[in-house]
Amino acid sequence: GAVVSQHPSRVICKSGTSVKIECRSLDFQATTMFWYRQFPKQSLMLMATSNEGSKATYEQGVEKDKFLINHASLTLSTLTVTSAHPEDSSFYICSARDIQQGSNYGYTFGSGTRLTVV
């Protein structure tokens, strides 16, 4: 089945630094990738939708200058948390959509990245 690789699985960084998270679709081409954020005991909140070769579409309330998304190829999207602060500490998950949908509607999720800003 479709596999999405997300790295790193966990990262600790100092306040003020930037962190890049990668999301790769390993065996399919993903024209659309999604980035989610999950707080403890909360739902997965969609941050942005990225389409290959175009600018990401951010959800209301998400700072696009803080959460930079790049989707340069059909198999790779990156999320960069710039000038990270402790309140950015969270679990970030990417999802890639395979145009050859299937019963999962084409969505495959990465394993997530636990970001801790100290």
Partner 1 sequence: DQQVKQNSPSLSVQEGRISILNCDYTNSMFDYFLWYKKYPAEGPTFLISISSIKDKNEDGRFTVFLNKSAKHLSLHIVPSQPGDSAVYFCAASGDSGGSNYKLTFGKGTLLTVNP
In angstroms, give the least distance from the CB of 117 to partner 1. Answer: 17
In angstroms, give the least distance from the CB of 83 to partner 1. Answer: 25
Which helix H or strand E contains 37, and what residues bound it? strand 30-38
In angstroms, give the least distance from the CB of 73 to partner 1. Answer: 19
Q: Is the peptide bond before 8 cis (omega within 30 degrees of 0)?
A: yes
**C-alpha distance across the termini of the chain, in Å:** 37
Both tokens assigned to 106:
């084409």
| Nearer to partner 1 (CB atom), residue 52 or residue 82 | 52
DSSP 35: E
Which helix H or strand E contains 96, and what residues bound it? strand 90-98
What is the contact surface with partner 1 in residues (CB under 8 A)? 4, 6, 9-10, 32, 34, 41-46, 49, 57, 91, 93, 95, 97, 103-112, 114
Measured between alpha carbons, how far is residue 76 from residues 4, 24, 43 in Å? 10, 5, 25
| Nearer to partner 1 (CB atom), residue 5 or residue 70 | 5
| Nearer to partner 1 (CB atom), residue 66 or residue 114 | 114
| Nearer to partner 1 (CB atom), residue 84 or residue 94 | 94
In angstroms, give the least distance from the CB of 104 to partner 1. Answer: 4
